[in-house]
Chain A
């Protein structure tokens, strides 16, 4: 499995596999010996069964509604959000909602078409790990995460938009 980038730019081994949504009629195929991310709605459907398991997390697709897990986010060790195409910006809103609206505290991961030039936006929207697309040079990630030393807006990373910092 490709390595994972952390928000501080460090690179670590990936422990999680993404289990794709099963075709209709098929059942979910969770690998026995590995930590697994399953579609969020399926986790919810089998919640009594999954809750408390440190080796099961969920993933949202970009058109999914994170609202379905509103009261349960912190029952999960990891939530991933899929960017099916890097230019599909819905995942940024999902990230902020999970963090700022539903108070998710554990690991939030960007998966899918994750490229270098979007990493800092993801970081600002609450993502703390990133599964870079394998053809991209992971050594350049630290620089991409920190192109900007500050931003104008409040977001998940700061409660202080520039207009509030200027005032203080």
Chain B
């Protein structure tokens, strides 16, 4: 994992001092509210319904145990003793005091953390696959490129006041896309060209929100060393020509659409031709240097524990289920990837207490080289667990509440904070997630249904990614009443698609029934091999409509 050197440390310390100065001036009335706004947003501080909220950056989802422990301490000392894992691999505090934020940032800086550019109209945290470097089907580890982008985008002098926020995601796996790159402003798919050279397929102009779009490809192959100059060209075109007159039309997706992907690509190429060979062009040494931080942990030479696990599974059904659903294959023999689900019924998806943060830290130290990864599905991954210790780990997880064996099932819901916390909400989202989890509490039934993404947002800002849920739920306001619109067929994978709206919206109490009917249709129509999405794509929306509105 990346470790700060004296340059990073110095700039982060200067950033904390700068924000302390800015906060003092804001509290003294020297900075008007609208002048302070982008400054605090770019330090993670968002003022919403009940209190300020602080979004802490977790670069591409990686956390060390010391960082988890520090987060736990901060939630205890400055907040109400819990935090929230977000859908952008970050961590959010819901109740800090404005005056305390500089101190919180200083405490974070001590463990090489920050809240830079986690809000505001700037380049945000670059996200990636939570299984980076431990799965066998990826070309290379995507994280060094994320770190290179992090450094380039941090305090970039030209791009601190973009028309709107800007998000980059990187994926290196050929089969799966756990980073949802095609619904990002820039999605980078790591590929090799025919000559075997490494580079990126560049997608630009995806996003959710009011106008959901799947990003078109604007360059099939960008050589590795050209990464930053090309990003700079895209950002410059966007900074100059993105709309600034209407906040809802300001994302880059609107510009790409207006110019057409070809027209946009042409403008970028023209700009890029000028700066392609500028000093911003990466060097092989620079990449190798960053890659040097992402070396393999000290793996022991183990064999796969196939027999042992078979026996343990045979003796313990709960362990068997957990192993089948929450544990993935590791590229190293004898190791496994474990997802801790933060989706226990009765707890808002993604919420963790200070104590739980410490427990996760302890688990990381004990079982996984002291590191964890946060996922955009609001779960936490222990990426390097020896197979012969899985049973022991599983036994510890249960009482902590991270052992629910529902990963990627219907109840592994992505859910935004919604009306309980968020000033922009049209409707609550957490109680809907809770009601659905209660309705579908039979694990065997869930397993039989297979992988289904159910995503819930409390308004069209789409923090809960409802457009790309196989089943999406969106809170809407109907004459002051909270209602829910359902869409079907979304996907954030390589075959990304935006869900289609089923029809008129439903009252909160009806939601579990509505979901049950949708599931019913799937169960009746599916063939042996089909996932929910496959069936939907084959039969279309009508059978679902007929059943739900019958």
Contact = CB atoms under 8 A, between A and B. Distances in A.
A87 B38 contact: yes
Interface residues of B, number: 41
B157 A164 contact: no
B158 A147 contact: no
A117 interface: yes
Interface in B1-42: 5, 7, 10-11, 14-15, 17-18, 21-22, 30-31, 35, 38-39
A163 B152 CA distance: 9
Interface stretch (B277-285, B388-396, B414-422): B277-285
Given A160-B279, A163-B289, A166-B5, A149 B161 contact: no
B278 A154 contact: yes
Contact of A92 (B7, B161, B285): B161
Interface stretch (A2-10, A13-21, A72-80, A120-128): A120-128
B105 to A, nearest CB: 14
Interface string A110-130: 000001011011101100000
Interface in A90-116: 90, 92-93, 96, 100-101, 115
B157 A124 contact: yes
Interface stretch (B90-98, B174-182, B236-244, B256-264): B236-244
Given A152-B154, A162-B151, A89 B160 contact: yes
Interface in B78-120: none
B155 A151 contact: yes
A29 interface: no
Nearest to A165: B7
A89 B159 contact: yes
B286 A153 contact: no
A97 to B, nearest CB: 8
Contacts of B17: 147
Contacts of A101: 274
Contacts of B31: 117
Contacts of B160: 89, 92, 118, 121
B226 to A, nearest CB: 14
B39 A117 contact: yes
B156 interface: yes
A137 to B, nearest CB: 7
Contacts of B14: 147-149
A89 B162 CA distance: 6
A155 interface: yes
Given A153-B280, A161-B279, A92 B11 contact: no
Given A101-B274, A137-B30, A149-B10, A155 B35 contact: no
A159 interface: yes
A100 B274 CA distance: 10
Contacts of A151: 11, 155, 157
Contacts of A166: 5, 7, 286, 289
A167 B286 contact: yes
A167 B279 contact: no
Given A163-B151, A167-B285, A167-B286, A153 B156 contact: yes
A154 B289 contact: no
Contact of A120 (B22, B157, B236): B157
Contacts of B240: 90, 93
B121 interface: yes
Contacts of A89: 121, 158-162, 239
A125 B157 CA distance: 7
Contacts of B152: 152-153, 161
B46 to A, nearest CB: 16
A161 B121 contact: no
Given A89-B162, A148-B11, A154-B280, A167 B154 contact: no
Contact of A152 (B38, B151, B236, B239): B151
Contacts of A153: 152, 156-157, 280
B368 to A, nearest CB: 30
Contact of A150 (B10, B38, B158): B10
Nearest to B155: A151
A88 interface: yes
Contact of A96 (B15, B38, B158, B161): B158
A96 B235 CA distance: 13
Contacts of A90: 239-240, 244
Interface string A33-56: 000000000000000000000000
Contact of B289 (A118, A147, A167): A167
5 contacts: A89-B160, A93-B158, A117-B31, A148-B14, A151-B157
Interface of A: 86-90, 92-93, 96, 100-101, 115, 117-118, 120-122, 124-125, 137, 143, 147-155, 159-167
Given A150-B10, A152-B11, 6 more contacts: A87-B161, A92-B157, A152-B154, A153-B280, A154-B280, A162-B7
